[in-house]
Structure 1
């Protein structure tokens, strides 16, 4: 798959509720996500594959649904850059958020691939104000 096809496959899987081991095949064994500071992760973070898969499972439990609306992609070699809007609806109250509340973020993702799988996701997430 091309980098763009891999990104689309990941987003489609997450929107379909797939998580954890169901999405492992999309990633290299040494895959990493770099998340720059944002409203939900003020210090940002770096997660390796096992943490990424566990995070996808936690997100699937927390979200009633999530959508990725991709506005633009630019592919160059083994990398694709995406400008997208993510919307998630919570299925339960957590922290300051209510069940049914929608969260929305405007995101730029740099997805790097190696050998036809995702090896790195670097993400810049800009969340809309929480209602």
Structure 2
């Protein structure tokens, strides 16, 4: 499986609420640069990602990732993604059942067939 195919499978696992963390190396780090939800940004280990995923499952009833662009070069995969998350709880001006939308640019660095580093640049539509 190519690294681009691994990224596709990883995003599908998130959508299906599967074990998306199985795609990460043990020492992986995910960086989320400042955005509307995380104004200061965040840097997370796999253990911290596990906690964040559990919290996210309480906030969202569903989410989808539509890949617009996917490019692979060496050990790096870059993705442009349209994201949609249906809220399970109220958030700012949105009510449960309404959708948040964003465009993500995500860069994945691999060690073998595992994600070693993920960098997210998330642009949310106003909510």
> TM-score of the superposition, structure 2-length normalised?
0.93
Determine whether 1:88 maps to 2:117.
no
Determine whether 1:47 maps to 2:32.
no
Gaps of 5+ in 2: none
Q: Tell me the equivalent position of 1:116.
A: 113
Q: Following the alignment from structure 1 to structure 2, what is the Cα–Cα distance between the partners of residues 73 and 23?
A: 18
Q: Following the alignment from structure 1 to structure 2, what is the Cα–Cα distance between the partners of residues 97 and 41?
A: 17
Task: Please give the root-mean-square deviation of Cα atoms over the aligned residues, in Å.
Answer: 1.4
Q: How does 1:11-30 map to 2 (within 5 A)?
A: 11-18=11-18, 22-30=19-27
Once the two structures are superposed, residues 5-60 of structure 1 have per-residue CA deviations (whole angstroms, 9 ceiling, x without a partner) of 22111110111122xxx233211001111111111111111111101122112212
Contact 1:3 1:112 (C-alpha < 8 Å) held by counterparts: no
Contact 1:3 1:111 (C-alpha < 8 Å) held by counterparts: no
Q: Tell me the equivalent position of 1:3.
A: 3
> TM-score of the superposition, structure 1-length normalised?
0.90
What is the deviation of 1:86? Answer: 0.6
